[in-house]
Structure 1
Amino acid sequence: MSEPIAYQMLWRCSKCQTRDLRALTQRFCPHCGAAQDPEQRYFPPEGQEVEVQGHRYVGADWPCGYCEAANSAAASFCTHCGAPREGHGEVRRVSDTASPPPAPEAKQPAAAATAQAAPSPPPTRRTWGRWLLAGMAALLLGWLALYLFEREVSATVVGQSWSRSVVVEQYQAQSASDWCEDLPADAYHVSRYQAQRGSREVEDGQSCHTVREDRGDGSFVKREECQTRWRSEPVYAARCDYRIKRWQPLRSETWRGTLPQQEPQWPAPSLSQRWEPGSVAQLGQQRLTTGRERYELQLQGPDGQAWRCELPQPEWAALATGSSLRLRLRGTGGVSCGL
C-alpha cells in the first residue's frame, strides 16, 4: 500500500513570533534559531497546503523533557540539546477545527493593567433578580399556607336544588373509515383504497467531506469521511371506508327543581320508536340512557357568608332546609364540603 500524500503543518516561533514556518522541514526558526515548539503547530488555510514529496512517516514526534523541542520518532536523543528520550510520549496533535495560535498581546501600562484587574461591582440587574425570586417564593408560600389552612365554621342549610338529565339515543347508520385490517365485523358497503399510513427512512447515497489529520510529525494527510444520507419514504396500506349501524346520542333532556317544592325525578321524554331491551335493534329505534345528576346545598354562615356545596344524593337527602352543620373553611375563603 502506497504512502498517502503528506502536507506541511505550519508553526509559530515562540521566541521571535515569526509565523507560517514549515513544521516538517524547518525544525528551527530561520530568524532566531529557536527550536520548534510542537504546541505552536497549526493547519494552513484551505487551498494553501504545501505537498511534501517522498516523505516517509515513522511516527509522531516526541517532546524533549529538557528543552521541549520536537524530535522525530526515529531519534533516540534530542537534536537540539542532546538529551535522551527516556520514555517521553508523543506530542499533542492538532485538530483541524482548532484556531492558529494567537499573536502575543501588546503590553499595557502598569496603571492600565491594575485598573483592568480591579474587580468590578456586581451587576445591579442580578441583585434585583434575586430579590424578585425571593418575593415570588414568599408569595407562593403565603398562598399555599392560606389554601392549606382550615378552620371549622357553623353553617345553615337555606336551600336544596337538584338536576337530572337523560340522553335519547337512536340506532343509526353512519359512515366511518379505518385501516382495513381493523375493519369491524358488521361493516358493510366497504370500499378499499391505498393511503399513506406512515413513513420509513431509507438510504439515499452518502455525504462526503475532506478531513485533514495531523500525524504529529509536522505533516498532515487528507482523507475522505463519508456519512450515509437518509430520506423519508411514504408507507402505504389498505384503507377502508364503510357504513356501520350504531347507537348515537340524539338529544338530551334535563329537569331541575328545589326542595320541598319538587322531589327529584328523572325526565321521561317521548320516544318515536322505542327499542325493547333484549330485541334486535332496528334503524330509527330510540332508547333512554341515564345522564348526569347533581344535588346541591345552599349554605349561609353566621356572618352572612354564602356557599354552595355539591353532595352525593344520600347525604343531600338526609339534610333539610334549616339544618345546621359544621364546615371546614379554607384560608382562601372556600369551603370543604365533605361532611
Structure 2
Amino acid sequence: MAKRTRIIEGTWNCTSCDTKGILARHKVCPSCGNPRELTGRESEFDFGDVDAKTGKSRREGVTDAQALELAGAGEDWFCAYCGAANRGDMPRCKQCSAERTDDAKAATGSDLPSPELPPQPVAQPKKGMGRKGLIALGLLFSCCFGSTVFGIWGSRTHEYEGQVTGTEWKRAVVQERFTAVAKTGWRDELRTTSPHMPVNGAGEVAGVSNVRDCVSRQRGTRRVADGTERVCRTKSRRVACGTEEKCRRRDKGNGFAEEVCEDVTKYCSESYEDCQNETRYRSEPVYAQQCTYDTYEWKQVGRRESSGADDTPRWPELSVSGVDRLRREEHYAVNIRYEDDGQKQHVLEPKGEQDFLPWRKGQGVRLTVTNLGKVEQVVPR
C-alpha cells in the first residue's frame, strides 16, 4: 500500500521572555532575540495533537520551500561556546561564529510515541442521584472498613483476675444388650453371615440372615442419552472490513517531524451463530431390590446416673451379664466469676477427670478475655 509522507513543524517556548509557540524554523526568539538553547524547555518541541484513531497529526503539513530545506538539514547542534542552536548543515555557529567542535551537543532524532487508545466514556451519575449515590458509597465504605476495624478491636485481649465459685460433675453408666432386630437393605449389598454373640461385652458379629420380603424400589436416578439436538450459540470474531489510515511520526531532531501514513487492513467484530449437534440427556429412575433381613445391634436396656458438686466424682454401680456391655458418659464443669465487680460468669468444661480434679472452690484464676467477651484461656494462680 502506498505511503504518504509529509513534514510537520514543531514549536518551542522562549525561557527568556516567555514567548510561547515559536515556530521551529526560528533558531532565535523573534521577540527578544535570544537564541534557542539546550535547556529543558527550549530543547523540547511541541508537534501538536494527533488523531487518537489514526495517529495523524492535526497540524497542517509544511509546504514552504525554505522550511522544507530546514527540515532536511539534519539534526540541530548547540554551540559549545555560546549554547545557541544551529542548523545541522552549518559548520559555524550563527550566533558567535565559533566552529562546530566535537563537544558541540547535537539533538537526536527519535520516534514519537503513538497515540493512546481513545478514552472510554465515563458513565455519569443520573441527574438527581448524586447525593444519594455518595451516601450509598459512604455507607458501603463504612460497613466494610468498619467491620474490619471492629474485627481487629474485638480480637484484642485483656487479663482478668477471677475465682472458682464451685465445681460440678455428672456421670452415667449405660447398659447395652446385643439384641436381634429386623432391618432393610439393598439386595446386592447383603451378604449372608452368621451372627456371633459377644463374650464379656466384646467380640460380637452382627451377621445377616433370613433375607426376605424383597420389593422393587427406586434407589436413585441416572442420566441417559435421549437423542441429539441442534444447539446454536452466538459468538464473535474479528474480520477484515476494509482499510483505515494509520500514521507514525519521527522527530528529526531539528524541530521538524516526518509523518508517514499508509492504509492498513481494518478489522471489525462480527457476530455469528455457532451451531452443533449435541447429545440430549434425560433423567430416569434406577430401581433395585430392597429386602428385610435379621441382624443384631447394641440397644440400651439400663442406665444409672450420679452427680455432685464436690471434688470427688464417682461412677454409679451397675452390674451386667456376660452378653451385655457398659458404656460410660461423663461431664465436668468449673464455675468461675471474674472482673472487678465479680459480675462476669464463665463455665470451664474439662474434658476428663484428670483435667477436672486440680480445680477447687475458692481457687484464684487468671483469664484472658477478648473485647467481645470471649474467654481465650483460663490458668490457675
What's the TM-score, normalizing by structure 2?
Answer: 0.45
Structure exhibiting the larger radius of gyration computed from Cα positions = 2
The structure in which a higher percent of residues are strand is 2
